Amino acid sequence: MLKTLLTSAAAFTLTSGIAAADYSLTILHTNDFHARFEPISKYDSGCSAEDNTEGKCFGGWARLVNAVKDARSRSNNSILVDGGDQFQGTLFYTYYKGKVAAEMMNGLEYDGMTVGNHEFDDGPEVLAGFMDSVGFPVLMSNADVSGEPALADKLMKSTTIERGGEKIGLIGLTPQDTPDLASPGKNIIFTDPSEAVQGEVDKLTAEGVNKIIVLSHSGFVVDKLVAANTTGVDVIVGGHSNTLLSNTQERAVDIYPVMVNDTAIVQAYAYGKFLGELNVTFDDDGKITEAKGEPILIDGQVVEDAAIVSRIGELAAPLDEIRNKVVAEAADTLNGDRDVCRVEECSMGNLIADAMLARVKNQGVTIAIANSGGIRSSIDAGEVTMGEVLTVLPFQNTLSTFEVSGQTVIDALENGVSQVEEVKGRFPQVAGLQFSWDPSVAPNEGRIQDVSVKDGDAWVAIDPAATYKLVSNNFVRGGGDGFSMFTTADNAYDFGPDVADVLAEYMAANGPVAPYTDGRIVKK
């Protein structure tokens, strides 16, 4: 269906010709970079030097620099903006916090950025330090920060920049539920996005600004609501939902740009894999007459900037200290062998699932499901380094919470045991859940026999009609390993902490960790 829309919707045009007074602007944009300064694999995780040399990797700041340079050369007037969540996701953030992001973004001369929820992961003070280090405005309209000393009189709701003799208004937008997603503290009051945006649009319009761009870290659904509920917004550069809008990519959620009333909405997935490039033409009154473009895939064909490669290498050197850091102790070998974990309950699977559940239990989550394909190693007895944890969980998957019916849980388990004969990674390791399965039954024909959940201290049969809160990782929640039944889950949030960090912290708090299996998975 996507391809059939291209000829009619790839470009939005209201007029057949362009008058002499029209103004053209190229909006280059990134979002949800999540500290992926080094190249990434097709799975959005780390990519080896060998694979990078062979052109199998994507992204990395060294490629982004040249992609931006090339895009700027195609335009008389361009701006570069970011939709938030530069923070969190790799050891570059763990070690440097926002310092590397500030250095790299300054080097690329960004024109503006909105605050993502992960910019609050280490409190307002780290965000404030980042803002002090960058040479561009960082914005957030839908919050009252006057009571937060670190950000009061520093974090603006909107601003104006000038390009090609024209003023352009920029407005920032952050998830209204950021207090539930990060650590902004108790001094910041988050407010309705549409009302906040309209207030800033009215202010900018009164100042004579008629070209207005919202930098929104609120997700594609909210962006469409803001576009529908406000007037005067020309473009929304999105983030937070890691949505790929494209006219050519098979996995695109929608076309690029999506028009809602007179507002063009764009977003460019995440992790530096794409650089968004939207070309907009305005008439003399600041109305969009044309909006067209396409995210640029930052693949192995994009040449890396040699100076940036060298600098990232320097910055990466101290990260080995983290990789070698002892974070826990194992009382005996924790078995993560694929030939075990992909066919039955295993001690590493139990540990990971229990760690995930413990991290979000205070949110009312009662069930954890982890795919065994995400478990890549065992851990020997003795001291456990962060490097060992990262070897077990190398994919930089994040904690994902969501709500589904009991029947959906059963369907997920059925998928999990459907390819055991092929030792596939979809086999489920679980917590807060017990189930039995019969391999003599044909795949997807009722192998799952009994499923029980905790009710206080007792185990009771799962209710297919009831709603349960689950935790998994973003790969599984997004339909990976055949878990497509989770893609339509309610109240989903896919951008929690790295599962490796969750495991390391759980092991540290509960060590020395002894391996255990307790019959939560029974093969009949």
pLDDT band for position 7 (cuts 50, 70, 90): very low
The pLDDT value given to residue 90: 80
pLDDT at 21: 67
Mapping DSSP onto H, E and C, the string for 16-77 reads CCCCCCCEEEEEEEECCCCCCCCCECCCCCECCHHHHHCCCCECCHHHHHHHHHHHHHCCCC
Question: What percent of the chain has a predicted confidence (pLDDT) above 70?
Answer: 96
Tokens 């974090």 locate to 155
Task: Give tens-digit pLDDT for 100-112.
Answer: 999 999 999 999 9
DSSP type of residue 421: G
Instruction: Say what the pLDDT of residue 8 is.
Output: 36
pLDDT digits (tens, 9 = 90+) for 33-57: 989 999 988 877 778 889 999 999 9
Of the candidates 230, 84, 103, 234, the one whose C-alpha atom is nearest the C-alpha of residue 170 is 234
Bridge partners of residue 424, in order along the sequence:
none
- Cα angle vertex 258, ends 253, 261, to 5°? 145
Q: How far apart are CA 326 and CA 388, in angstroms?
A: 9
* pLDDT exceeds 50 at position 5: no
φ, ψ (nearest 5 deg) of residue 374: -85, -5
pLDDT mean over 310-338: 91
| In the predicted structure, residue 163 carries a pLDDT above the cut 80 | yes
Q: Which of 29-43, 62-76, 206-220 has the weakest average pLDDT? A: 29-43
pLDDT in tens, 100-144: 999 999 999 999 999 999 899 889 999 999 999 999 999 999 999
Residues 339-378: pLDDT tens digits? Answer: 899 999 999 999 999 999 999 999 999 999 999 988 888 8
Q: What is the pLDDT of residues 409-460, one digit of tens each?
A: 999 999 999 999 988 889 999 999 999 999 999 999 999 999 999 988 999 9
Q: pLDDT (tens digit, 9 = 90+) per residue, 230-239?
A: 999 999 999 9
- How high is the mean pLDDT of the chain? 93
| Nearest to 80, CA basis, from 127, 125, 33 | 33
| pLDDT tens track for 279-310 | 999 999 999 999 999 999 999 999 999 999 99
Q: Length of the chain in residues, anyone?
A: 524
CB 387 within 8 A of CB 324: yes
- pLDDT band of residue 12 (cuts 50, 70, 90) is low
pLDDT of residue 414: 98
Q: What local confidence, expressed as pLDDT, does residue 47 receive? A: 82
pLDDT at position 394:
73
